[in-house]
Chains A and B, each alone.
Chain A
């Protein structure tokens, strides 16, 4: 099932994602330049913080949400071989999300929402920013509903059969997102919007931070699961082999979804409004959620090894060389895994409870998430785009060589950008500053690293432009040759004919999540209603 209506829907969502992405890349390069202080004419905190807020919203909310929606619609129809359930609802979701994005963009670009994408109440943005961001999320809920309905309809029509892994992963993500977005939705609906509109005089920033922490960790898994999905369902086939294990892939996805949720307090390790026992509990959960990633790494590398050996690779490492490095999907996964190893190491440091004091809110943190999100996750978004674009527009990719060059430059640029960023953090540089005005010798050590970051950013910007050029050319090329390639999902090494229900659905896991959320967030949220707390009024920037 690869009908024109679905293709148009998927393509529209994906284009919004990548347009947001390229705009945000330009802002990113401006930000490293401004921050370095080498060009004094650029110095302006108000422009910088407006830019940083917009960059964050575009990359973290717009690129991801629209990409995930477009990718999900395509996966659902092709893996289940069904048309989109209620395509009008899908377009309505697209429209609501797009309208929300535009609405939020107005205050962002005019400097009326320079509160960064993490909101930071009691600092207050224009109400249109919160309403726009809410609509963006509400639109994505339409997508979640469609994924869940298609999943259960297929199961009803095919009793006892395993749901295709691609759809299982996509539905897992839809479910994760519904749970995840609840925290920030409550914060925005009951605190930010009423405060911005003057309906209430004050909010409790401690409660606001707790609710945001509910969302802040699982949201990164919402962004990451499409990358893992591509690892499992596209990579093995593209490499010329088989998926090592279908069941373990499902188990890893389930553990990822279940344990991504009750662990958000690792963002609050340094906060005064939560006690140490709760922080430790969430800290342990944070380590647990590293396990599915370790398992995923194993499955992907094992699948690649099968492919390498099938292609004639010999010896302990010889199979690596015989992989098809000129296949965009295979090259992407290799680069993604390299960045995941280093990014994962940094993540373990961040997760390490009291040790977090050394890196909290330093430049180390944006270094970490640019590597793991901008690197590992986004490079897989590129891989998916290069794979799907020909299928969506019915024409061959404009240039495979250009795509390979783009992927390599993205990897190199990201390495040059994030390595000094991590070092700056260890040298004590705070994140979220627009210039260095501290009259201290320590800052002298920062200069060479800031200089390197400008080059890293420049390479990334050039690389991003090549991506957009290649995708646009693919679509606009007047191509006459018939192109009838179909999407190919990877076959597992051992075909799965039946699965226990807990690996083929989410009913049980929904209950497990509910219990874990009550345990890990119940008291920490309720305490604000029993303690003698004092609200804060809103502050402009």
Chain B
């Protein structure tokens, strides 16, 4: 590999760019403003990047495919498996299907102050789901599983709204979710039969 000529060419190019950059007139005040702008933007980018890399604060981004046309035949999203389940490890997984114009199952109870992993799939078109005032928000794209883990700090009744246009009945696509105090929440019978704990 001959890297020397390439290196030389690169330094030459850089040097040329630098002299050209110095050739243009930039006012003193302008320089100051550009520096301030760069610092402000650098601060924003820095906070976001540190949060993403070290605190794991990211948008839902697990790239996982699934065949939307035959969800009912799939192991995971067959009707019996939908809703809240507690894994053997104690992890709570909530499997939900979005389809014009409803979320299935219609109603779920989940514990407050507990990490919950939602797995959303669409059986037809694009949908989106948002629980207002929380960060439980994700697009539901047919062909993909949208996975998002979040925690609800406050018990209460929350609306669960479709927030992506999915057809003329889009307005009617919504349901409610009950967030109950951690102490009073009990795992649905089916999953405890499987031996799961209720995350106490």
Q: Is the CB of B63 within 8 A of A269?
A: no
**Given the contacts A361-B128, A437-B172, A440-B176, A205 and B135 also touching, CB distance less than 8 Å:** no
A275-B63, A284-B45, A353-B59 known; A123-B125 Cβ under 8 A: yes
A353-B59, A534-B65 known, 13 other contacts, Cβ within 8 Å: A123-B166, A204-B143, A206-B143, A209-B141, A247-B26, A271-B141, A272-B141, A272-B145, A290-B41, A361-B139, A501-B20, A532-B65, A539-B124
The reply on A435 being an interface residue by CB < 8 A is: yes
Given A357-B135, A500-B23: A432 touches B38 (CB 8 Å cut-off): no
Q: Does B87 contact A (CB under 8 A)?
A: no
B54 interface residue, CB < 8 Å from A?
no
Given contacts A288-B41, A535-B143, A537-B69, contact A433 B170 (CB under 8 A): yes
Residues of B within 8 A of A206 (CB): 141, 143-144
**Which residues in A have their C-beta under 8 angstroms from that of B164?**
120, 361, 432
- Tell whether B51 is near chain A: CB-to-CB under 8 Å: yes
| A270→B137 contact, CB < 8 A | yes
Chain B residues with CB below 8 A from A273, complex form: 63, 141, 143-144
Interface stretch among B29-37, B77-85, B105-113, B188-196? B29-37
Q: Please report whether the interface of chain B is mostly helix, strand, loop or mixed according to DSSP.
A: mixed
Task: Name the CB-closest residue of A to B169.
Answer: A45
The segment from B2-10, B89-97, B155-163, B178-186 that touches chain A is B155-163
Could you tell me if B171 and A45 are in contact, using CB atoms closer than 8 angstroms?
A: yes
Contact A354 B38 (CB under 8 A): no
Question: A49 touches which one: B17, B38, B63, B168 (CB < 8 A)?
Answer: B168
Bound-state Cα–Cα, A271 to B145, Å: 10
User: Which residues of B are found within 8 Å of A527, using beta-carbon distances?
Assistant: 63
Q: For the complex, is A302 an interface residue (Cβ under 8 Å from B)?
A: yes
Cβ of B65 and Cβ of A533 under 8 Å apart? yes
The residue in A114, A430, A540, A541 that gathers the most chain B C-beta atoms within 10 A of its C-beta is A430
- Residues from chain B with a CB closer than 8 A to the CB of A302 are 29-30
Q: List 25 A-B contacts (CB under 8 A).
A: A45-B170, A120-B126, A245-B26, A247-B25, A268-B139, A272-B60, A272-B62, A272-B147, A290-B41, A291-B38, A353-B57, A354-B52, A356-B59, A357-B59, A357-B136, A357-B137, A437-B174, A438-B159, A438-B161, A534-B65, A534-B66, A535-B143, A537-B69, A539-B125, A539-B167
> Of residues B60, B133, B143, which shows the largest number of chain A Cβ atoms within 10 Å of its Cβ?
B143
Query: Which of A272, A273, A360, A433 has most B Cβ within 10 Å?
Result: A272
Which of B20, B57, B61 has the largest number of chain A CB atoms within 10 A? B61
Evaluate contact between B168 and A46: CB separation under 8 angstroms: yes
Q: Is the CB of B52 within 8 A of A276?
A: yes
Q: Which bucket holds chain B's interface residue count?
A: 35 or more
B153 within 8 A of A: no
A45-B168, A294-B37, A434-B171 given as contacts; is B24 within 8 A of A499 (CB)? yes
Query: A residues within 8 A CB of B64?
Result: 272
- Listed residue (B24, B41, B169, B172) with the most chain A CB atoms within 10 angstroms of its CB: B24
The distance from the CB of B143 to the nearest CB of chain A, in whole angstroms, is 5
User: What is the distance, in angstroms, from A223's C-beta to the closest C-beta of chain B?
Assistant: 22
Q: What CA separation (Å) do A356 and B161 show in the bound complex?
A: 17
Tell me, yes or no, whether A536 is within 8 Å of chain B by CB: yes
Query: Which of B49, B58, B69, B130 is A361 in contact with, Cβ under 8 Å?
Result: B130
List A contacts of B60 (CB < 8 A): 270, 272
A30–B33 Cα distance when bound, in Å, is 44
CB–CB A248/B30 < 8 A: yes
Question: In the assembled complex, how far is the CB of residue A411 from the closest CB belonging to chain B, in whole angstroms?
Answer: 26
State A271–B139 Cα separation when bound (angstroms): 5
Chain B residues proximal to chain A, CB less than 8 Å: 17, 20, 23-27, 29-30, 33-34, 37-38, 40-41, 44-45, 48-49, 51-52, 57-69, 124-126, 128, 130, 132-133, 135-147, 157, 159, 161-172, 174, 176
Contact, CB under 8 Å: B143 / A533 = yes
Chain A nearest Cβ from B162, distance in angstroms: 7
Residues of A within 8 Å of B48, CB to CB, are 280, 283-284, 287, 352-354
Min distance, Cβ B149 to any Cβ of chain A, angstroms? 12
Given A276-B61, A353-B58, is A358 in contact with B137 using a C-beta cutoff of 8 Å? yes
A429 to B61, CA, bound (A): 24
B69–A534 touching, CB < 8 Å: yes
When C-beta atoms are compared, the residue in chain A nearest to B32 turns out to be A298
Q: Is A132 an interface residue, CB under 8 A from the partner?
A: no
A116 at the interface (CB under 8 A from B): yes
CA distance A294 to B165 in the complex (A): 34
Q: Which of B24, B67, B135, B145 contacts A358 (CB 8 A)?
A: B135
Contact B24 A247 (CB under 8 A): yes
Cβ contact within 8 Å between B171 and A280: no
Chain A residue nearest in CB terms to B162: A430
CB-based contact A536/B68 at 8 Å:
yes
Q: Are A360 and B163 in contact (CB under 8 A)?
A: yes
Which residue of the partner chain, among A122, A248, A284, A436, contacts B49 with CB atoms under 8 Å?
A284
Chain B residues whose CB sits within 8 angstroms of the CB of A8 once the complex forms: none
Chain B residues with CB under 8 Å of A209's CB are 141
Question: Are B41's CB and A287's CB within 8 A?
Answer: yes
Residues 120-178 of A at the B interface (beta carbon under 8 Å)? 120, 122-123
Which residues of chain A are within 8 angstroms of B29 by Cβ–Cβ distance? 302
Answer yes or no: A427 CB below 8 A from chain B CBs: yes
Are B130 and A432 in contact (CB-based, < 8 A)? Answer: no
Docked complex: A305-358 residues within 8 A CB-CB of B? 348, 352-354, 356-358
Cross-interface CB contact of B170 among A283, A432, A440, A500, cutoff 8 Å: A432
Q: Is the Cβ of A298 less than 8 Å from the Cβ of B33? A: yes
